[in-house]
Amino acid sequence: MSTAAPQGYVRPQLPLISRIFQTPAASVSIYLVVVGLIVYSAFNGAQAMGYNWQWYRVPQYFYTLTDDGFQWGEISIGLVKTVELSLLAFFFAVILGLCVAMLRLSGLVVGKAMAVVFLELVRNMPLLVLLYLFYYVLGPIFELDRYWASILCLGVYHGAMVSEIFRAGINAIPVGQWEGARSIGMSKPQIYRFIVLPQTVRFMLPPLTGEAVNMIKSSAIVSVIAVAELTTIGRNIISDTYMSFEIWFTIAAVYLIVTLILSIGVSVVERHYSVH
């Protein structure tokens, strides 16, 4: 048999220049050049405006080692506050989200309507406005201080998102699981607790992690009502020292590290749940 030309559709070869650009080496170098340019121009711009880099002054805001011994710095304290705030708010968001999801799936007309109204209200309102509502309107009415107003606001805002995650997770459980459980006489709360929710964890972990990361990031917004957390502390340090470049870079890096740790931790847990 002779070696005939391949039959049918033959993908046309790309021009040489495209082929070069598509090699990994070329992609990486282009990336490095672009990033380098950005960093260089930023650095240059800062030089040109006579910015005085003072990175050596940053570590003291994490911790100090003096004659008095080891002491946490302001950024570290702010970080703990941010984590604490986010944890409390996330806990609240999960409880609220679960309740809203169950209301929505309950089949009760009023429950469903309430859940939908809540969802639409929260989802279509900017977080900042919601925060002002909680602090300036609900705060005085229910005697909430700024700390609890921010926790409730973040909890409500993310509770709406979490409820959708729960709803999707619960709906992902096949109807046969319900029937199997009902056929051995289990009640609805028992079915949720022992059969449905344990199985939804697997589906919900990735989106819930995303929501937790979002929560940590959006917790920065409470700095507008001066709740002492990472972003507020950053602003305070800057107003004392005028080191805006260093401090904002540092704060951004701290947020990044926290959320990365969270994501990695959850992917470990996720592997645990996907065994069977």
Partner 1 sequence: MNDDAPIIQASGLNKFYGRFQALKNINLNVKQGERVVVCGPSGSGKSTLIRCINALENHDAGRLVVDGIEVYEGSKQIRNLRQEVGMVFQQFNLFPHLTVLENLTIGPVRVRKLNKQDAERNARKYLERVHIPEQADKYPSQLSGGQQQRVAIARSLCMETRIMLFDEPTSALDPEMINEVLDVMVNLADTGMTMVCVTHEMGFARKVADTMVFMDQGEIVESAPPEKFFTEPETERCKAFLKQILVH
Of the candidates 181, 173, 245, the one whose C-alpha atom is nearest the C-alpha of residue 202 is 173
Residue closer to partner 1, measured from CB, 8 or 189: 189
Kindly list the residues in this chain that would bind partner 1 in the complex (CB under 8 A): 176-177, 179-187, 190, 194-195, 198-199, 276
Single-letter amino acid, residue 131: L
Residue closer to partner 1, measured from CB, 27 or 171: 171
Q: Closest separation between CB of residue 274 and partner 1, Å?
A: 11
Residue closer to partner 1, measured from CB, 15 or 189: 189
Q: Closest separation between CB of residue 146 and partner 1, Å?
A: 42
Residue closer to partner 1, measured from CB, 141 or 184: 184
Q: Closest separation between CB of residue 51 and partner 1, Å?
A: 57
Q: 66-93 burial, b for 16+ CB within 10 Å, e for fewer?
A: eeeeeeebbbbbbbebbbebbebbbebb
* Helix, coil or strand: residue 65: strand
Q: Closest separation between CB of residue 69 and partner 1, Å?
A: 50
